Amino acid sequence: MNILSIALKEMKQSIRNRRTLLFTLAFPIVLMLILGLALTNAFSSNVSIGDLKVVLKDSSGGGQLSQAFTGFTKEVGKMGVTFESLKSGMNGREEVQNGRYVDYVELTDQGISLYGSSRDTIESNIVQGMLASFTDKYNAASAVAQIEPTKTEAVFASGGHDYIKETSVNPDRTPGSIDYYALAMTVMIGMWAAMAGSHIIKGEITRGTAVRLVIAPVRKSEIFTGMILGGIVTNMLCVIAIILFSKYVFKAYWGSHMGIVLIVLLSEVIMAMSLGLAASYLLKGAVSSGIISIVVQLMSFFGGAYFPIGNETGGGMMGFLVNLSPVRWANHGLTEVIYGNTVSAAWPVVGLNIGFAVLFLGASIFMMRRREGL
C-alpha cells in the first residue's frame, strides 16, 4: 500500500510539472513533424521490393531441397526478388557486406543458411520472412513425403503468393520519414526516463522530504520501489501518448504487434530509469543529472534519433559507438518487429534492457543500503 501511495505521489508530481511534461511531449512531436517532413525524400521512396537482390550458393547437390528452392526463387522472382548464383571467386558474405546484395543464402545438405545485411535491415527482413515461409512449407512437404510421397507436390502447389501472404510482409509498406521519426522519437523519449531516474531520489533529498520518508514506518525498499514504479509509469504514459499521437495524427505505421512494441519500450524505460538512479548514487551533487543528460543525448544521436546513422557506419569506432546505444538496440529491434514481422527480434532487446536494469538497480540498492538516509 505504501509503495502504491508513493508511486501515485510521484506520478502526481510529474504530471503537475507542466513545463517538463510539455517539453517531454511537445519536443518529440514537433521534431517528428519537422524532420519527418524535411527528410521525406531520404526515406522509403528508394526502398521497394523490386530492388531486392540475393546471392545464392547451392551446395546441396541438386536434391529435393534444391528443386524446391528453385521453384521458390521463381515464385518470389515474380515479386521482384532476384536470386543470383554465387560465381566462383566471389565471397557471398563480402558481397552482402559491400552492399551489392541484401542477403546471402547457402543451400547445403544440412539445410538453408542465411547471412543477412545489417545495413539494409528492412529489405533483409523481407527476404528472411519469405525464406521462413519456404522452410516451413518445405518441412511440411518432407514430413508428408515420409508418410504419403504422392501428396508432396500438393503441398507446393498451393501457389507462390503464399510466400508473401504467410510472411505477412506488405510489399507496399516501407518506412516513410514520419514512420521512422515516430519510432525514433518514441524510443528517445523512453530513454529520457534516465533523466527522471537521476532526479527521483536526489529530488527528495534536495527538497528535504527524504527526512520525512526515512523517519516514517516505511522500509527503504518500499520507498525505492514506489518511486521507481511511479517514474516508470509516468514515463511509459508519455511514450504511449507519443505513440498514439503519431499513429492517429501523423498516421505513422506501428505494425501489427503493438503489444510487443510496448514490451520493448517498457523494458527500455525500466533500463533508463535504473541507469539514471544508479548515476545519482554513483555521482555526487548535481553532476549526475548533467552527465546523464549528456549521455542520453549521445545515446539518442548514435541511436539514430535525429537521423538514421547506423546503416552506413560499418565497423570502426563509429560502428562501435552506434552499437553501444540502447536507443539503437530498440530502434533496430522494433524496426524488425514492425516492418519485418520478426517478433523474435524483440527479445534480445528486452533481454539486454532488463539485464542492464537489474545491474543498475542492484548497484543502486547496494549503495542505498550502505548509506544512512536515502
Partner 1 sequence: MNVLDIRGLTKKFGDFVAVDNMSLTVREGEIFGFLGANGAGKSTTINVVSSLLRPSSGEIRILDKDIMKQSRFAKMNLGIVPQDLAIYEDMTAYENVSFFAGLYGLRGIKLKERTIEALDFVGLGDKAKSFPKNFSGGMKRRLNIACAIAHKPKLIIMDEPTVGIDPQSRNYILTSVRKLNESGCTIIYTSHYMEEVEEICSRIAIVDHGKIIAEGTKEQLKSTITDVKDIRIELKSVQGGVVEKLRSIPGVRNVSQEDHVIRIHSDAAVDNLNRMLKQLIDAGMEIRSVEEQEPNLETVFLTLTGRNLRD
- Other Cβ atoms closer than 10 A to 259: 9
Give the total residue count for the chain. Answer: 374
- CA distance to 70, 75, 213, per residue, from 108 (Å): 14, 21, 65
Give the nearest distance from C-beta 39 to partner 1 in angstroms: 39
Q: Nearer to partner 1 by C-beta: 87 or 284? A: 284
Question: Which strands, in side-by-side order, build the sheet including 103-108?
Answer: 82-85, 53-58, 103-108, 111-116
Q: Which of 214, 349, 184 is closest to 270 using CA atoms?
A: 349
Do 167 and 341 meet the contact criterion of CB atoms below 8 Å apart? yes
Where along the sequence are the contacts to partner 1 (CB under 8 A)? 1-2, 5, 9, 12-13, 16-17, 207-209, 211-218, 372-373
Question: For residues 161 and 321, what is the distance between their CA atoms, to the nearest angstrom?
Answer: 41
Give the nearest distance from C-beta 208 to partner 1 in angstroms: 4
Give the nearest distance from C-beta 341 to partner 1 in angstroms: 44
Give the nearest distance from C-beta 19 to partner 1 in angstroms: 11
Do 340 and 125 meet the contact criterion of CB atoms below 8 Å apart? yes
Q: Are strands 103-108 and 111-116 parallel, antiparallel or unpaired?
A: antiparallel
Q: Nearer to partner 1 by C-beta: 12 or 93? A: 12
Give the nearest distance from C-beta 351 to partner 1 in angstroms: 36
Cβ contacts of 45 within 8 Å, gap of 6 or more: none
Question: For residues 111 and 60, what is the distance between their CA atoms, to the nearest angstrom?
Answer: 8
Write the DSSP symbol of residue 102.
S
Task: Report how far Cα 250 is from the mean position of its chain's Cα atoms.
Answer: 20
Write the DSSP symbol of residue 91.
-
- Cell 536494469, located at residue: 357
Q: Nearer to partner 1 by C-beta: 48 or 209? A: 209
Give the nearest distance from C-beta 206 to partner 1 in angstroms: 10
Q: Nearer to partner 1 by C-beta: 58 or 204? A: 204
Cβ contacts of 367 within 8 Å, gap of 6 or more: 281, 282
Q: Nearer to partner 1 by C-beta: 5 or 64? A: 5
Q: Nearer to partner 1 by C-beta: 10 or 120? A: 10
Q: Nearer to partner 1 by C-beta: 298 or 365? A: 365
Q: Nearer to partner 1 by C-beta: 210 or 365? A: 210
Q: Nearer to partner 1 by C-beta: 218 or 352? A: 218
Give the nearest distance from C-beta 371 to partner 1 in angstroms: 10
Q: Which three cell numbers stand for residue 40?
A: 521525406
Give the nearest distance from C-beta 170 to partner 1 in angstroms: 47
Three-state DSSP state, 351: helix
Give the nearest distance from C-beta 212 to partner 1 in angstroms: 5
Q: Which of 5, 4, 14 is closest to 238 using CA atoms?
A: 14
